[in-house]
Every structure is written in C-alpha cells, then in structure tokens.
Amino acid sequence: MSTPSLVDLGLRPFFQQQLSLEEVANCFLGRIIEQHKSDVIILAGDDALRYKLPPNFEAICVGDWVVFNQNRLVRVLERQSLFQRKAAGSGRDRQLIAANLDVVFIISSLNDDFNLNRIERYLALVKETHAEPVVILTKADLCDDVEDIRQQVQQLDSLLSVHCVNGLAHNNLSALKSYCQRGKTVAFLGSSGVGKSTLVNNLLNHNEMETNAIREQDSKGRHTTTYRTIKWLPEGGLLMDTPGMRELQLSDVKEGIKLTFADIESLATECRFKNCQHQNEPECAVISAVESGALSARRLDNFQKLLREDAHNSATLAQKRAKDRTFTKMVTAIQDQARSIKKFK
C-alpha cells in the first residue's frame, strides 16, 4: 500500500461528523501514528507530517484522529475507544496508550497455559476501552479437546467471538482475517509465549509491509519508513503494536470488570442488600446462583479478585502520582530559589 487514503486509515462518519464547517473549510484531518515527547507524526492521506505539540495541548496518543492546519495541531477528535492508564479520581493524570482500536484479539493458548481467569482479566481490560474483544485460542494442534475448551470460553459470554487456530498453519487464519479488513484497526493482547508473534507474522505474510508515502515536513523527497507502532495488514487493516499495551495492569477498569461479569451484576440486583458483597450476607442471589450451579464458584471468585486488584492498583497509582507531583513541585521550588540567589549575586 503506497498511499493510504483516510478511509484506509479508519476514517468513518463518527469522526467526520465531529468537524465544524469552519474546520472542514480550513483544516485537515489525520491520524497519529507516532508520538514523541514534543511532537507527533500524523498520517494524512499520502503525507506523513511531523507536528510539534503546542504547549499544554490536550492528551494525545497513537491512533488518535486530529484536526490540524498549515501551522499547528488544532484538536483531537472524540475517540471511539481508548487504552489508558488512569489513577482513580483524577481526570488529568492519565497516560494514554492507544486510541480508536476496533478489535483487540485476546490470545490464549489451548495447551497447558489455558486459563479462564486470565481471559476474564483481559476481557475486563478490553471492555473498559470500548473496543471489541475477540478471543483467539492458539495451538489447536496441541490440544485434544479443542471444542470443549472453546465452549468453556463461550460460556463466559454468549455474544463473545471465540476462534481456535493453529497459528503455524498458513491456511488457518481466515477467521482472524475477517476482522482485519480495510479501515479496521486491530491489536493483540496476551501473555508471553501464547503465539502472538506467530499470528502476526502469519497475518503479515512474513513480510512487514512498508508504507512508502512518507515525507516529513522538513525533509526533501520521499523515503520509506516503517513505523514502530503501526503495521499494514494485507487485508487492508492496521495493526497497532504499542509497547504500553503489553504491560497493562488492571487499574480503574471497574466498568470493564462489570461489563465482563454482567451476569453477576444482574444477579446482584436481586440480593437483599443493595451493597451486598456476595460473601456471607443473607438472601444473596449471587451465592444462591453458585449453590444451584447456575454460576461457577471460580467465576465469582475471579470477579471479586479482579475488583480487589483494580481497587488496590488504582489507589497505589493515585498515591504514586501525588508523590511525583509533590516531588516535582519541590524540585521547581529549589530551582527557582537557586535562580533568584544567582540573580542577586
């Protein structure tokens, strides 16, 4: 693909409709494909442009759609989905990781490593972002009861897409490819060794396609660049591979956890006490469901564990940020002091 159009890059009515008439007349639209400390690279049709981040510009990350003019970045469009690290209770202190992903593949292998709890954890992370999770179970060739395990995953959520593949077989990936069509942005999540790179290499047909329409604003002529975080898939989609995604922790993803365990949330509305913790309260509909076999004890256990972990991580993150802020203030104060001492010398 030499010159991707904005539609190839994922432009759709949701983003276009956000533009004002003034912006349509005077500005351009583009997608952030690289983010550095003080500048970003915007892909806009056949151009890749480097733009400085204006001082105090809003938070921005790879995958964002931005409005810009000849001179500067104007604004970031509202996102359809967003991976971020948040600290509880603070809107400002968040680190954005990747925006506007359509599908996130949750990769888990069908052999010894298979673990429903872990899949639920990734589901909570993905649901929080509002991207669509798709579970891919790899190493089907090493497993004797593929369908049985697929069923176990399907039971987590009847609407969830779950596919089993042998990542090593080239002709085995049509299920995945259907999510990677033109204009779609996808990403992979999963623990080490489950076969993510194998799938990616296979999807890429072993040759990472290069965009050769890259011309930076300040350089003459065209040269070919591959981006660290974005790869073109032969089906037309974009694969986003930002390092931060691999290290995501559960923090402040309560909504994602609740969406992932919608069955428990719904049962909880029947508990006698509104704030029931489903531990040993009387007339608890959730415990009753476990006793009757309608809900697995494992699932309830994991729900509670993920909520605890989320609360713990959110709190420590908030604390750490507050500490960092105090430290920065202290350093600035000392620097100011040093400067004023110099002045009077």
Ligand X SMILES: Nc1nc2c(ncn2[C@@H]2O[C@H](COP(=O)(O)OP(=O)(O)OP(=O)(O)O)[C@@H](O)[C@H]2O)c(=O)[nH]1
Enumerate binding residues for ligand X (CB under 6 A): 138-139, 141-142, 166-168, 190, 192-198
- Cβ nearer to Zn ion, comparing 143 with 276: 276
CB-based contact 166:141 (threshold 8 Å): yes
Give the nearest distance from C-beta 143 to ligand X in angstroms: 9
- Of all residues in this chain, which one has the CB nearest to ligand X in the complex? 195
The entry of Zn ion, ligand X, none that residue 284 binds, CB within 5 to 8 Å by partner kind: Zn ion
* Helix, coil or strand: residue 42: strand
Give the nearest distance from C-beta 294 to ligand X in angstroms: 34
The entry of ligand X, Zn ion, none that residue 167 binds, CB within 5 to 8 Å by partner kind: ligand X
Closest CA to 229 of 106, 97, 130, 68: 97
Question: Which tokens in the block code for residue 60?
Answer: 């921005």
Pairing relationship of beta strands 65-68 and 28-35 according to DSSP bridges:
antiparallel
Q: How many CB atoms lie within 10 A of CB 256?
A: 23
Bind-site residues for Zn(2+) = 271, 276, 278, 284
Bind-site residues = 138-141, 190-198, 271, 276, 278, 284
The residues, any chain, with a CB within 8 Å of residue 198's CB and separated by 6 or more, are 138, 167, 168
Question: Which tokens in the block code for residue 264?
Answer: 């428990």
CB-based contact 135:125 (threshold 8 Å): no
The residues, any chain, with a CB within 8 Å of residue 58's CB and separated by 6 or more, are 75, 76
Angle between the N-to-C axes of helices 297-344 and 285-292, in degrees from 0 to 180, rounded to the nearest 10: 130
- Cβ nearer to Zn ion, comparing 243 with 293: 293
The entry of Zn ion, ligand X, none that residue 237 binds, CB within 5 to 8 Å by partner kind: none
What mask of x and - would describe binding to Zn ion in positions 253 to 292, judged by CB under 5 A?
Answer: ------------------x----x-x-----x-x------
- Cβ nearer to ligand X, comparing 1 with 146: 146
The entry of ligand X, Zn ion, none that residue 271 binds, CB within 5 to 8 Å by partner kind: Zn ion
- Cβ nearer to ligand X, comparing 10 with 195: 195
Question: Which tokens in the block code for residue 131?
Answer: 């991207």
- Cβ nearer to ligand X, comparing 157 with 241: 241
Q: How many CB atoms lie within 10 A of CB 168?
A: 14
- Cβ nearer to ligand X, comparing 88 with 106: 106
The Cα 314–Cα 310 span in angstroms is: 6
The entry of ligand X, Zn ion, none that residue 203 binds, CB within 5 to 8 Å by partner kind: none
Residues found near Zn ion in the complex (CB under 5 A): 271, 276, 278, 284, 286
